[in-house]
Amino acid sequence: MSTKASNKDNLLHSYFSISMDLIQVDIKLPYNLFVNASSNEERLHFVRIFPKGETLQKIDIEEFCKKYPRLYVPEAEREEYLQSLVKSQTCTPEQKSEAIKDTAIKHLDNLFNKEFTTEVLNDAIEGCRSTVESMIEVINEFDIVQLQEHISKLFFHDFYTYDHSINVSMYCISIYKIINPSASREILLTAGLGGMLHDLGKINIPTHLLNKPGKLEPKEFKILQEHPDRGNTLLGNDDIQMPNEVDAEIVSKIILQHHENYDGTGYPNGISGSSIHILARITAIADFFDAITTKRSYHEPISIEEAVEAMRSTVNKKLDPNLFEVFASHIKKISNSVKTRKLSIDDSFDACRPYRELPLTVEEKPINNDTPEKKK
Protein backbone atom coordinates (compact mmCIF):
# COMPACT_ATOMS: atom_id res chain seq x y z
CA MET A 1 0.00 0.00 0.00
CA SER A 2 1.36 3.46 -0.90
CA THR A 3 2.00 6.11 1.75
CA LYS A 4 -0.74 8.27 0.27
CA ALA A 5 -3.26 5.43 0.39
CA SER A 6 -2.15 4.58 3.93
CA ASN A 7 -2.68 8.19 5.05
CA LYS A 8 -6.19 8.24 3.57
CA ASP A 9 -6.97 4.93 5.26
CA ASN A 10 -5.80 6.35 8.60
CA LEU A 11 -8.09 9.35 8.14
CA LEU A 12 -11.07 7.10 7.44
CA HIS A 13 -10.51 5.19 10.66
CA SER A 14 -9.56 8.09 12.95
CA TYR A 15 -11.88 10.23 15.05
CA PHE A 16 -11.58 13.23 17.35
CA SER A 17 -13.81 14.16 20.25
CA ILE A 18 -15.83 17.38 20.29
CA SER A 19 -17.67 19.40 22.87
CA MET A 20 -21.45 18.99 22.64
CA ASP A 21 -22.06 22.69 23.28
CA LEU A 22 -20.16 23.54 20.08
CA ILE A 23 -22.40 21.49 17.81
CA GLN A 24 -24.59 23.71 15.64
CA VAL A 25 -28.35 23.13 15.73
CA ASP A 26 -31.13 23.99 13.28
CA ILE A 27 -28.79 23.68 10.30
CA LYS A 28 -27.81 20.80 8.06
CA LEU A 29 -24.87 19.28 9.89
CA PRO A 30 -21.81 19.25 7.57
CA TYR A 31 -20.24 16.25 9.32
CA ASN A 32 -21.20 12.89 10.85
CA LEU A 33 -21.50 12.30 14.59
CA PHE A 34 -20.21 9.08 16.18
CA VAL A 35 -19.98 7.51 19.62
CA ASN A 36 -17.57 4.93 20.93
CA ALA A 37 -19.66 1.79 21.54
CA SER A 38 -16.82 -0.21 23.10
CA SER A 39 -16.03 -0.42 26.80
CA ASN A 40 -12.54 -1.68 25.97
CA GLU A 41 -10.21 1.32 25.74
CA GLU A 42 -7.74 -0.66 23.66
CA ARG A 43 -10.30 -1.65 21.02
CA LEU A 44 -12.50 1.32 20.19
CA HIS A 45 -15.60 0.78 18.09
CA PHE A 46 -17.22 3.88 16.59
CA VAL A 47 -20.89 3.89 15.62
CA ARG A 48 -22.61 6.71 13.74
CA ILE A 49 -25.54 8.22 15.62
CA PHE A 50 -26.30 11.21 13.39
CA PRO A 51 -25.70 11.54 9.64
CA LYS A 52 -24.10 14.36 7.73
CA GLY A 53 -26.62 16.50 5.87
CA GLU A 54 -29.48 16.11 8.36
CA THR A 55 -30.75 18.93 10.57
CA LEU A 56 -29.91 18.56 14.26
CA GLN A 57 -32.33 19.97 16.86
CA LYS A 58 -31.60 21.21 20.37
CA ILE A 59 -33.62 18.29 21.80
CA ASP A 60 -31.27 15.89 19.99
CA ILE A 61 -28.26 17.41 21.77
CA GLU A 62 -30.05 17.17 25.10
CA GLU A 63 -30.69 13.47 24.47
CA PHE A 64 -27.07 12.91 23.46
CA CYS A 65 -25.90 14.54 26.69
CA LYS A 66 -28.01 12.08 28.70
CA LYS A 67 -26.87 8.99 26.80
CA TYR A 68 -23.24 9.55 25.81
CA PRO A 69 -20.18 10.85 27.67
CA ARG A 70 -18.53 12.01 24.44
CA LEU A 71 -19.21 12.54 20.75
CA TYR A 72 -16.75 12.12 17.89
CA VAL A 73 -16.26 13.37 14.34
CA PRO A 74 -14.24 11.51 11.67
CA GLU A 75 -10.78 12.98 11.20
CA ALA A 76 -11.51 13.20 7.48
CA GLU A 77 -14.29 15.70 8.29
CA ARG A 78 -12.26 17.93 10.60
CA GLU A 79 -12.23 20.81 8.12
CA GLU A 80 -16.03 20.73 7.79
CA TYR A 81 -16.33 20.79 11.58
CA LEU A 82 -13.91 23.71 11.83
CA GLN A 83 -15.70 25.72 9.15
CA SER A 84 -19.04 25.20 10.90
CA LEU A 85 -17.56 26.75 14.05
CA VAL A 86 -16.03 29.68 12.19
CA LYS A 87 -19.41 30.51 10.64
CA SER A 88 -21.29 30.03 13.93
CA GLN A 89 -23.13 33.01 15.41
CA THR A 90 -23.30 31.43 18.86
CA CYS A 91 -19.72 30.24 19.47
CA THR A 92 -17.37 32.73 21.14
CA PRO A 93 -14.06 33.81 19.54
CA GLU A 94 -12.30 31.87 22.30
CA GLN A 95 -14.17 28.66 21.43
CA LYS A 96 -13.46 29.14 17.73
CA SER A 97 -9.79 29.88 18.34
CA GLU A 98 -9.38 26.88 20.62
CA ALA A 99 -10.79 24.62 17.89
CA ILE A 100 -8.52 26.24 15.29
CA LYS A 101 -5.51 25.85 17.56
CA ASP A 102 -6.32 22.20 18.31
CA THR A 103 -6.51 21.56 14.57
CA ALA A 104 -3.20 23.32 13.93
CA ILE A 105 -1.59 21.38 16.78
CA LYS A 106 -2.74 18.15 15.13
CA HIS A 107 -1.16 19.10 11.79
CA LEU A 108 2.10 20.25 13.41
CA ASP A 109 2.23 17.17 15.61
CA ASN A 110 1.91 14.93 12.55
CA LEU A 111 4.68 16.89 10.88
CA PHE A 112 7.08 16.71 13.82
CA ASN A 113 6.31 13.23 15.10
CA LYS A 114 5.63 11.08 12.06
CA GLU A 115 8.44 9.59 10.03
CA PHE A 116 9.15 12.45 7.64
CA THR A 117 8.17 12.04 4.00
CA THR A 118 7.17 14.56 1.34
CA GLU A 119 3.63 13.17 1.63
CA VAL A 120 3.55 13.99 5.36
CA LEU A 121 4.78 17.52 4.62
CA ASN A 122 2.25 18.00 1.81
CA ASP A 123 -0.58 16.86 4.10
CA ALA A 124 0.62 19.23 6.83
CA ILE A 125 0.87 22.17 4.41
CA GLU A 126 -2.66 21.60 3.16
CA GLY A 127 -3.96 21.18 6.71
CA CYS A 128 -2.18 24.33 7.89
CA ARG A 129 -3.52 26.27 4.90
CA SER A 130 -7.06 25.32 5.84
CA THR A 131 -6.39 26.28 9.45
CA VAL A 132 -4.93 29.66 8.49
CA GLU A 133 -8.01 30.39 6.34
CA SER A 134 -10.20 29.83 9.40
CA MET A 135 -7.81 31.90 11.48
CA ILE A 136 -8.12 34.89 9.14
CA GLU A 137 -11.91 34.82 9.62
CA VAL A 138 -11.79 34.58 13.41
CA ILE A 139 -9.15 37.25 14.12
CA ASN A 140 -10.45 39.64 11.45
CA GLU A 141 -11.77 42.16 13.98
CA PHE A 142 -8.96 41.84 16.55
CA ASP A 143 -6.32 44.50 17.07
CA ILE A 144 -2.87 43.46 18.36
CA VAL A 145 -3.70 44.07 22.02
CA GLN A 146 -6.95 42.12 21.79
CA LEU A 147 -5.16 39.33 19.94
CA GLN A 148 -2.42 39.13 22.59
CA GLU A 149 -5.03 39.00 25.36
CA HIS A 150 -6.90 36.37 23.37
CA ILE A 151 -3.78 34.24 22.87
CA SER A 152 -2.95 34.46 26.57
CA LYS A 153 -6.27 32.76 27.39
CA LEU A 154 -5.67 29.79 25.10
CA PHE A 155 -4.27 26.56 26.46
CA PHE A 156 -0.54 26.20 25.95
CA HIS A 157 1.35 22.96 25.48
CA ASP A 158 4.70 21.65 26.67
CA PHE A 159 6.16 21.63 23.18
CA TYR A 160 7.10 25.27 22.64
CA THR A 161 7.31 25.03 18.84
CA TYR A 162 3.63 24.15 18.34
CA ASP A 163 2.03 27.01 20.27
CA HIS A 164 4.64 29.50 19.19
CA SER A 165 4.18 28.72 15.49
CA ILE A 166 0.40 29.13 15.75
CA ASN A 167 0.72 32.40 17.66
CA VAL A 168 3.29 33.78 15.20
CA SER A 169 0.93 32.92 12.35
CA MET A 170 -1.88 34.95 13.95
CA TYR A 171 0.42 37.90 14.66
CA CYS A 172 1.79 37.86 11.08
CA ILE A 173 -1.73 38.18 9.71
CA SER A 174 -2.64 40.94 12.16
CA ILE A 175 0.59 42.95 11.71
CA TYR A 176 0.41 42.79 7.93
CA LYS A 177 -3.17 44.07 8.04
CA ILE A 178 -1.99 47.05 10.10
CA ILE A 179 0.67 47.82 7.52
CA ASN A 180 -1.60 47.16 4.55
CA PRO A 181 -5.30 47.41 5.51
CA SER A 182 -6.37 46.55 1.96
CA ALA A 183 -4.27 43.36 1.84
CA SER A 184 -5.72 40.60 -0.30
CA ARG A 185 -6.84 37.32 1.19
CA GLU A 186 -4.08 35.58 -0.79
CA ILE A 187 -1.26 37.62 0.77
CA LEU A 188 -2.77 37.22 4.26
CA LEU A 189 -2.93 33.48 3.66
CA THR A 190 0.71 33.52 2.54
CA ALA A 191 1.72 35.57 5.61
CA GLY A 192 -0.18 33.26 7.95
CA LEU A 193 1.12 30.05 6.40
CA GLY A 194 4.66 31.42 6.42
CA GLY A 195 4.27 32.22 10.11
CA MET A 196 2.86 28.75 10.80
CA LEU A 197 5.77 27.06 9.00
CA HIS A 198 8.56 29.48 9.92
CA ASP A 199 10.18 26.88 12.21
CA LEU A 200 9.72 23.99 9.77
CA GLY A 201 13.45 23.29 9.85
CA LYS A 202 13.24 22.25 13.50
CA ILE A 203 11.80 18.89 12.39
CA ASN A 204 15.18 17.18 12.41
CA ILE A 205 16.57 18.99 15.46
CA PRO A 206 16.50 16.97 18.71
CA THR A 207 13.52 17.82 20.91
CA HIS A 208 15.69 18.19 24.01
CA LEU A 209 17.45 21.12 22.31
CA LEU A 210 14.21 22.76 21.21
CA ASN A 211 12.73 22.61 24.71
CA LYS A 212 15.89 23.23 26.71
CA PRO A 213 15.50 26.32 28.90
CA GLY A 214 18.66 28.02 30.01
CA LYS A 215 21.95 28.50 28.24
CA LEU A 216 22.75 26.33 25.24
CA GLU A 217 26.27 25.13 24.60
CA PRO A 218 27.88 26.75 21.51
CA LYS A 219 27.59 23.47 19.57
CA GLU A 220 23.92 23.16 20.55
CA PHE A 221 23.11 26.72 19.51
CA LYS A 222 24.91 26.20 16.19
CA ILE A 223 22.63 23.21 15.50
CA LEU A 224 19.58 25.30 16.40
CA GLN A 225 20.72 28.05 14.04
CA GLU A 226 20.59 25.60 11.14
CA HIS A 227 16.78 25.45 11.18
CA PRO A 228 16.08 28.26 8.64
CA ASP A 229 18.31 26.58 6.04
CA ARG A 230 16.90 23.15 6.84
CA GLY A 231 13.32 24.39 6.51
CA ASN A 232 14.02 26.10 3.22
CA THR A 233 15.61 22.91 1.88
CA LEU A 234 12.60 20.83 2.91
CA LEU A 235 10.18 23.21 1.24
CA GLY A 236 12.32 23.39 -1.90
CA ASN A 237 11.84 19.71 -2.72
CA ASP A 238 10.29 19.33 -6.19
CA ASP A 239 7.61 17.00 -4.79
CA ILE A 240 6.27 19.60 -2.34
CA GLN A 241 2.86 20.92 -3.38
CA MET A 242 2.05 24.45 -2.25
CA PRO A 243 -1.63 25.52 -2.53
CA ASN A 244 -2.35 27.60 -5.64
CA GLU A 245 -3.49 30.66 -3.68
CA VAL A 246 -0.25 30.74 -1.65
CA ASP A 247 3.01 32.25 -2.94
CA ALA A 248 5.47 29.41 -2.40
CA GLU A 249 8.50 31.63 -3.03
CA ILE A 250 7.47 34.08 -0.30
CA VAL A 251 6.80 31.26 2.20
CA SER A 252 10.30 29.93 1.47
CA LYS A 253 11.79 33.39 2.10
CA ILE A 254 9.92 33.70 5.41
CA ILE A 255 11.33 30.35 6.53
CA LEU A 256 14.86 31.15 5.37
CA GLN A 257 15.07 34.79 6.46
CA HIS A 258 13.09 35.16 9.70
CA HIS A 259 16.30 35.20 11.78
CA GLU A 260 18.13 37.67 9.57
CA ASN A 261 18.76 40.93 11.45
CA TYR A 262 18.10 44.35 9.97
CA ASP A 263 21.77 45.33 10.43
CA GLY A 264 23.05 42.15 8.76
CA THR A 265 24.20 40.32 11.91
CA GLY A 266 21.58 37.57 11.72
CA TYR A 267 21.62 34.11 10.20
CA PRO A 268 21.89 32.06 8.04
CA ASN A 269 23.16 34.45 5.33
CA GLY A 270 23.79 37.77 7.07
CA ILE A 271 21.62 39.80 4.70
CA SER A 272 20.26 43.17 5.80
CA GLY A 273 17.61 45.85 5.32
CA SER A 274 15.28 45.53 2.35
CA SER A 275 17.20 42.47 1.15
CA ILE A 276 15.14 40.65 3.76
CA HIS A 277 11.60 40.08 2.43
CA ILE A 278 9.02 42.29 4.13
CA LEU A 279 7.04 39.28 5.38
CA ALA A 280 10.20 37.80 6.88
CA ARG A 281 10.80 41.12 8.67
CA ILE A 282 7.19 41.07 9.90
CA THR A 283 7.64 37.46 11.04
CA ALA A 284 10.71 38.56 13.01
CA ILE A 285 8.56 41.10 14.87
CA ALA A 286 5.80 38.53 15.46
CA ASP A 287 8.37 35.92 16.55
CA PHE A 288 9.99 38.33 19.02
CA PHE A 289 6.69 39.68 20.39
CA ASP A 290 5.20 36.26 21.08
CA ALA A 291 8.40 34.93 22.66
CA ILE A 292 8.33 37.57 25.41
CA THR A 293 4.58 38.15 25.96
CA THR A 294 3.20 34.60 26.03
CA LYS A 295 3.26 32.57 29.22
CA ARG A 296 5.50 29.52 29.11
CA SER A 297 6.29 26.81 31.60
CA TYR A 298 9.84 28.24 31.55
CA HIS A 299 9.24 31.91 32.30
CA GLU A 300 6.56 34.48 33.03
CA PRO A 301 5.63 36.90 30.26
CA ILE A 302 6.08 40.65 30.38
CA SER A 303 3.35 43.19 29.60
CA ILE A 304 2.61 44.39 26.09
CA GLU A 305 3.97 47.88 26.81
CA GLU A 306 7.15 46.50 28.37
CA ALA A 307 7.57 44.17 25.42
CA VAL A 308 7.41 47.12 23.02
CA GLU A 309 10.06 48.93 25.06
CA ALA A 310 12.32 45.87 25.11
CA MET A 311 11.87 45.37 21.36
CA ARG A 312 12.56 49.06 20.73
CA SER A 313 16.06 48.59 22.11
CA THR A 314 16.81 46.28 19.18
CA VAL A 315 15.46 48.54 16.41
CA ASN A 316 17.97 49.09 13.59
CA LYS A 317 19.82 46.05 14.89
CA LYS A 318 17.39 43.13 14.89
CA LEU A 319 14.18 44.83 13.76
CA ASP A 320 13.17 47.00 10.81
CA PRO A 321 12.67 50.54 12.25
CA ASN A 322 9.82 51.51 9.94
CA LEU A 323 7.81 48.30 10.36
CA PHE A 324 8.41 48.35 14.11
CA GLU A 325 7.24 51.95 14.42
CA VAL A 326 3.94 51.13 12.69
CA PHE A 327 3.56 48.13 15.02
CA ALA A 328 4.47 50.13 18.17
CA SER A 329 2.29 53.12 17.22
CA HIS A 330 -0.68 50.82 16.72
CA ILE A 331 -0.22 49.37 20.20
CA LYS A 332 0.32 52.79 21.78
CA LYS A 333 -2.84 54.11 20.13
CA ILE A 334 -5.12 51.36 21.44
CA SER A 335 -3.53 50.47 24.78
CA ASN A 336 -4.66 52.10 28.01
CA SER A 337 -2.01 50.55 30.25
CA VAL A 338 0.52 52.72 32.06
CA LYS A 339 4.21 51.90 31.68
CA THR A 340 5.99 51.69 35.02
CA ARG A 341 9.50 50.79 33.92
CA LYS A 342 11.69 50.78 30.86
CA LEU A 343 13.30 47.59 29.59
CA SER A 344 15.96 46.68 27.10
CA ILE A 345 16.85 43.20 25.95
CA ASP A 346 20.28 41.75 25.37
CA ASP A 347 21.49 41.53 21.78
CA SER A 348 22.04 37.81 22.29
CA PHE A 349 18.28 37.20 22.61
CA ASP A 350 17.00 34.70 20.05
CA ALA A 351 13.25 34.16 19.76
CA CYS A 352 13.66 30.59 18.49
CA ARG A 353 14.53 29.14 21.88
CA PRO A 354 12.88 29.08 25.30
CA TYR A 355 14.43 31.00 28.20
CA ARG A 356 14.28 30.20 31.87
CA GLU A 357 14.71 33.94 32.40
CA LEU A 358 14.47 36.57 29.68
CA PRO A 359 17.76 38.54 29.25
CA LEU A 360 16.21 41.88 30.21
CA THR A 361 17.77 44.99 31.70
CA VAL A 362 15.51 47.24 33.77
CA GLU A 363 16.12 50.96 34.09
CA GLU A 364 15.70 51.97 37.72
CA LYS A 365 14.09 55.31 36.88
CA PRO A 366 10.39 54.82 35.93
CA ILE A 367 9.14 56.17 32.63
CA ASN A 368 7.31 59.49 32.92
CA ASN A 369 4.10 58.92 30.99
CA ASP A 370 3.29 62.64 30.92
CA THR A 371 6.32 63.65 28.89
CA PRO A 372 7.45 62.56 25.45
CA GLU A 373 10.04 59.82 25.38
CA LYS A 374 13.45 60.79 24.11
CA LYS A 375 14.13 59.77 20.57
CA LYS A 376 16.97 57.35 20.06
Provide the domain count of the chain: 2
Pair (157, 132) in one structural domain = yes
pLDDT tens digit string along 48-72?
A: 999 999 999 999 999 999 999 999 9
Nearest to 330 by CA among 153, 176, 139: 176
Q: Are 14 and 74 in contact (CB under 8 A)?
A: yes
Residue 340 lies in a domain: yes
Pair (182, 328) in one structural domain = yes
Q: What pTM, to 2 d.p., does this model score?
A: 0.86
Pair (117, 73) in one structural domain = no
Domain-ending residue, one of 41, 67, 91? 91
**What is the per-residue pLDDT for 375?**
40
Pair (47, 158) in one structural domain = no
Pair (136, 244) in one structural domain = yes
Pair (104, 47) in one structural domain = no
Q: Are 197 and 232 in contact (CB under 8 A)?
A: no
Pair (41, 140) in one structural domain = no
Domain-ending residue, one of 91, 119, 141? 91
| Distance, CA of 7 to CA of 12 (rounded, Å) | 9
Q: Are 79 and 87 in contact (CB under 8 A)?
A: no
From first to last of its 376 residues, the chain has per-residue pLDDT tens of 444 444 444 445 689 999 898 898 999 999 999 999 988 777 889 999 999 999 999 999 999 999 999 999 999 999 899 999 888 888 888 888 888 988 999 899 989 888 889 999 999 999 999 999 999 999 887 888 888 888 877 766 556 778 899 999 999 999 999 999 999 999 999 999 999 999 999 998 888 888 787 778 899 999 999 999 999 999 999 999 999 999 999 999 999 999 999 999 999 999 999 999 999 999 999 999 999 998 775 667 788 988 999 999 999 999 999 999 999 999 988 766 555 577 889 888 888 877 778 888 887 555 554 444 444 3
Residue 372 lies in a domain: no
Q: Which residues of 207-244 are buried (b: 16+ CB within 10 A; e: fewer)?
A: eeebebeeebeeebeebbbbbbebbbebbeeeeeebbe
Pair (58, 168) in one structural domain = no
| CATH code of the domain in which 204 resides | 1.10.3210.10
Pair (225, 279) in one structural domain = yes
Pair (140, 180) in one structural domain = yes
Phi, psi dihedral angles at 6 (to 5 degrees): -65, -40
Domain-ending residue, one of 91, 117, 139? 91
Residue 371 lies in a domain: no
Pair (195, 263) in one structural domain = yes
Contacts 24+ apart (CB under 8 A), 273-278: 273/320, 276/320, 277/250, 277/253, 278/323
Residue 199 lies in a domain: yes
| Distance, CA of 57 to CA of 35 (rounded, Å) | 18
Pair (109, 76) in one structural domain = no
Residue 376 lies in a domain: no
Residue 245 lies in a domain: yes
Domain of residue 80, residue span:
1-91
Q: Are 253 and 239 in contact (CB under 8 A)?
A: no
**Percentage of the chain exceeding pLDDT 90:** 56
Dihedral of CA 349/216/222/235: which sign?
A: negative
pLDDT tens digit string along 8-49?
A: 444 456 899 998 988 989 999 999 999 999 887 778 899 999
Residue 368 lies in a domain: no
**What is the per-residue pLDDT for 301?**
78
Nearest to 359 by CA among 259, 294, 291, 267: 291
Residue 271 lies in a domain: yes
Q: Are 283 and 194 in contact (CB under 8 A)?
A: yes
